[in-house]
Structures are given as C-alpha cells and as structure tokens.
Structure 1
Amino acid sequence: MLPYTAYLRVYEPLTAFTPRDRAVWAGYAESRDRPRRAGALEVEHDESVRRLLCVPPAPAPDKESHNAYLRRVEDMLYVCPWQSRLRSWLAFASFRGSMPVKLADRFVPKAIAEQTADDFDRFKRGEPSLRTNIHTSTWHVPTPWFVPFDSAERWLVLGAEGNETTEPAVPTTTAPPRNMLYVTSMAQARRRVARALVVIRRHVGHVTILTEVEEVGRWLEEFHPHSLVELDYGGLVHLMNDETLQGDQSVAEVSAALAGLDNGQEELAFAMYQRVILRWRSIQALEFAN
C-alpha cells in the first residue's frame, strides 16, 4: 500500500540541465535497471521505510538518489529527479520544528537528529538553491494545487478493468493500474496561476488563500519555461472508491469558483469552492480514523 500522499511535480526538458547532468539523465533513460513509472512510487516508498526501520533510523539517505521520473513527448525527454536526500532533509527539518524537542527525540534519537542537521547545514553552505522538483502533501490535495490545471487534462484509470476518462493534453507514460493525474505545460500552468492571483487579489480578502497560491506561482517560476507540471493523486486514490474518483472534479470546481468571482457570481463561486473544501476535508479526516 502506498502512503496516502499526493505529489505536485515539475519535469524539466533535458536541455535545461548542465551538459554533465544531461549525459547522466540521457543514459539513465536508456537503462533497463531503472524503476519504471508503474512501480516507481513503491520503490521510493520502500527505500524510505527501510531507512526509518533500521537501527538506528536514518532520516535521510547518505547520498542523493540517482533516480528520476521521466516523461517523453514526441522526441523530447523530460526529467523530474527524485532528490530523495534533499527532500528528506527538508521534511525532517519541518518535522523537528513542528513538535517539542523531547517528543521529537522519541522518534529519532538526539544524536542522529543532530548529525542529520549538521549534514544538512554543510550541504546548504555549498548549495545556493534548495529547490525541489517534487512537493508532497499527506492525506489531501491542497486547494491551490488545482489552480495550474484544466479539467480536460485529467487522466483517470480505475483498475485493470476500469475505464480511462479523458485523454491527457500531454501524453503520459505507463501509470499504475489505479491512478488520477493531471498534466499540463509550464506556460499554461503559469498563465492560470497568474489569472487566479488577479481574481483573488480583486475579490477575496482571505490572506491565507492568496499566500498559498502565490507560493505555487513562485515555485513554478523557478523552472525552465518549457517544463511539464503534473498533479498526481498518488496513494490518495486508495482512500476513494471508483464512484468518488469519477465524481472528483476538483480542478473544474476551483476553475468555476474563480470564474464566478470574476463574473460577479458570488453564490456560484462560494458553492464551487465549498464542494472542493468539503470533499477534501472529509478525506483528510481519515488521518484520525481508527
């Protein structure tokens, strides 16, 4: 069972990388030993579980991952590095900062935590950017993550005998038997976020919503303009039955809410926004189910 986590990923074209990294990723794409998309999430999850279950636990791997998610569109190769070490450091720093030190020490011994923090500090001194190509969210999809996409870009697979609905606007690689994806171009993603920010600033006084959408926009601006952006429901699809997944039109509802605000249809905007919020609030509540 995959973790109940959703992923927002950016795939950059091979030309966006340095000549050295370009050669590495081109060779990686031709390798027969690399994890294929159908099992990549499972491989990534297994690696993290093994690190945390060993004695003593290892909050971050000793070396950066050499793996990546790949997409091909016609003759163009797009690469989304796993960056397991950097993402683990960032997640561990957030975890340690979210609870009292004595409680955090119950999960990871103090000596291991301090060594992990020291390793991260040394890395940061020699690395000007902590940019990651992958954002994760447990137990729900944050509402701002729906903004960069269009409902026509949805790709839904419901098991081996399920039906695919809506071909993606950007061709996809092989996916697990049960999956929900949205894929779009970076240009479209940035354009939609920019339009949403104009509407939110004009009509919404909620600072948190504005800040969260701005954060998504700033993150997208850090990548090559010809990249691809992907929203993957990941393990969250196992919290929803087929009917729920088929009825999930969160991207379309967020788009309708923004359009309603812009057109002066406040009641429609509120209704669409509430549908998204209530849907994901009910799923997120499962974190505390027994």
Structure 2
Amino acid sequence: MQSVTAVRTSVLPPYAAHLRVYEPLAAFPEPDRAHWQAYASAHGPDAGAVEQPVARAALEEQRTALADLVGRTPRALPERESGRAFVRAVDGVTYVCPWATRLRSWQALDELRESAPVALLDTALPPATRAAAEADRERWRAGHPDARPWIMTSRWEVPVRWFLPFGEEDRCFVPPAPAGPGEGEEPEPAALFYLTPMAQARRRVARAYRALRTGVAEGEPAQGAEQVGRWLEEFHPRSLVELDYGGLVHLLGPERLAEDRSAGELEEGLGALRAGDTAAAVRAYETVTLRWRRVLALRQAN
C-alpha cells in the first residue's frame, strides 16, 4: 500500500454531492496510463465491489485539502496538479477517477465569480490573485486542449439532472457502522450512491432528452439532460458513472437517506411522459425538485 500521511480532524466534509466518471486504465494515454497503473497497484482499490462506497477515500481527499491550507497563505489554486485518484475494482477491471484538484479549482473560481458579492470576492481573492490564476489557466490550456474534469461537484443539493443516468437498480445505501475495536478506528458514515456502466448512463440520458424535447416545452429539464449527455460523451465508453451524495449524508441523516428514491421517481416520471401522461410526469418531477429545494434552503439557515 502507498505510504500516505493520514490527517485526522473532527471537521465534517462539506455538504456537497459529486458526479464522477471512472475510466479503465486503457482509456489513459501514456505516460498517464503508467502513472495510474502504478498508483492503483500501490494504493489498492478504494472500493473493491460495486456495492462498496468510496466514502472513506473521499473524506481523505477533503482532509488532504484542509491540511494543505493550514499554516499557509490561501492561494487561488494548488501549485501542482494532484497525482491521486479514486480507484474502483469491478469484475477484475481497475477503474480510475483522477482528483484533478487543480483543474477543479479553476472551475470553482469561475463559480465563485458568478455567485459571490464583489466585495467578498475581492477580500478572499484579490483581483491580482484572480488574474494570475486566469493567466496560469490559459498557459495550461495551451498544452491540455482536451482536458476535462472527472468529477463534478454540487453544494447543498443534488441537481435533478444528475439522476438521469441512473435507475433504481443502481442505488446503493450503506447504513452507518460503529467504530471497530482497534485504537483510533473511526465509525463508518452512512453512504448513498448510484453506480452504472457508461453505456447504460448514456442510453438513459439520451432517452430522457428525447422524451423531454417531445413532451415538454423547451426549458431547463431538456437543457439539463443535454448538458449531462455532452459531459458523458467526453469519456471512454466502458467507464463507470457514479453519483455520490458525499457530505450530504451528514445533513440528511440515515432515515431520510433510506427513504430517498429520487432516481427511481424521476425514472417513473419520464416513463409517464413517454406514455403521454404529462400530469403524472409533472408530479414526479415536482416531487423530486421540491425535495432538493428544501435541502438547498438549509444553506440559508442559522
């Protein structure tokens, strides 16, 4: 196993969900393939079965990011790209989802520009710092024109469009477990995730897009399906797609997680839409949307 310094903290991970793509090693060009093959061999899989979550590894990613900030002047993005990844092993095949922390930091900076008040943004990241980060990205893009993140992140909610690649049979709920008997062992948190092959994910999204284009006036649902579909097309056709509730499990709690059937409800709504039952389709969509709007509203709570 790879030697990694374990950082322990009582801080819970952010209330964020993640949409991930795990690509087989064969999808990576050299020298990246050799790097990820060596990493997977030394590190071992974070999940060795379909029904196993990567929650522990995701927590380690958050702790690593937190440790990098301690005792340092905050920067707009890491100085170097991460060489780490989430690793899944399914039916003897190794799949890798690179953290791509630097690339995702550039994206987060764009989101911050759009959502934060100017005064707050200038205080946290002065204009000169942001300009340097943008210049750095442009130089990096020149050598990586086809780069795309393997991980999408959403804070305080799971966007409804993210459920489109999945069906009820892809859902896996792992209840919380007490800490083991060993010294320093931590309890296992609850986890809720969906995992499906890329081919199935693309088919579901394409069918959803056709149904939404035909049965609903042009608007957010169809645009959301198109957005997800375009992102999935960027990856190897034999990849795996995962929707992980991530830190939201701590916000929702085990009971609400056990009752959550968002992907299945949305799938039923799309079936009703294809059958011409627009009223039932709208009810299903509104049920899922309202559920996540209520969760999102907690962002403003004190």
Q: Same fold (TM over 0.5)?
A: yes
**Equivalent-residue separation in structure 2 for 1:100 and 1:81 (angstroms):** 32
Q: Secondary structure at the match of 1:118?
A: helix
Q: Which amino acid aligns with 2:23?
A: E
**Contact 1:68-1:81 within 8 A present in 2 as well:** yes
CA-CA distance at 1:195 after TM superposition? 0.5
Distance 1:209 1:33, change over 3 A: closer
In the alignment, the residues of structure 1 paired with residue 101 and residue 143 of structure 2 have an alpha-carbon distance, to the nearest angstrom, of: 18
Name the counterpart of 1:220.
232
Alpha-carbon RMSD: 2.1
Report deviation, 1:287.
Answer: 0.5
- 1:31-110 equivalences in 2 (<5 Å): 31-32=42-43, 37-52=54-69, 54-110=71-127
Q: Does 1:13 align with 2:30?
A: no
Equivalent position of 2:277 in the other structure: 265
- Distance in structure 2 (CA, Å) of the matches to 1:69 and 1:186: 17
Q: Within 5 Å, which residues of 2 pair with 1:105-124?
A: 105-124=122-141
Q: How does 1:120-131 map to 2 (within 5 A)?
A: 120-131=137-148
Tell me which of 199, 202, 207 is aligned to 2:211.
199
Partner of 1:24: 35
Cα deviation, residue 33, structure 1: 8.9
Equivalent of 1:249, from 256, 261, 278?
Answer: 261
The runs of 5 or more residues in structure 2 that have no matched partner are: 1-11, 48-53, 179-186
Change (3 A) 1:176 1:4: same
Residue 211 (structure 1) aligned with residue 228 (structure 2):
no
Letter in 1 for 2:146: S
| Greater Cα offset, 149-158 or 202-211 | 202-211
| Aligned residues of 1:257 and 1:269 also touching (Cα < 8 A) | yes
Alpha-carbon contact 1:148-1:192 (below 8 Å) kept: yes
Does the 8 A contact of 1:52 with 1:59 survive in 2? no
Is residue 2:190 matched to residue 1:178? yes
- Normalising to structure 2: TM-score of the pair? 0.86
Per-residue deviation, residues 91-129 of structure 1 (Å, max 9, x unmatched): 112312444544311112333222222211211222212
TM-score by length of 1: 0.89
Match of 1:159 in 2: 176
Structure 1 contact 51–58 (Cα < 8 Å) conserved: no
- Are positions 1:3 and 2:20 aligned together? no
Counterparts of 1:109 and 1:284 in 2: how far apart (Å)?
A: 29
Residue identity opposite 2:229 in structure 1: G
Matches of 2:193 and 2:204, distance apart in 1: 18
Provide the aligned length of Structure 1 versus Structure 2.
277
Could you tell me how far apart the structure 1 residues matched to 2:72 and 2:127 are? 14
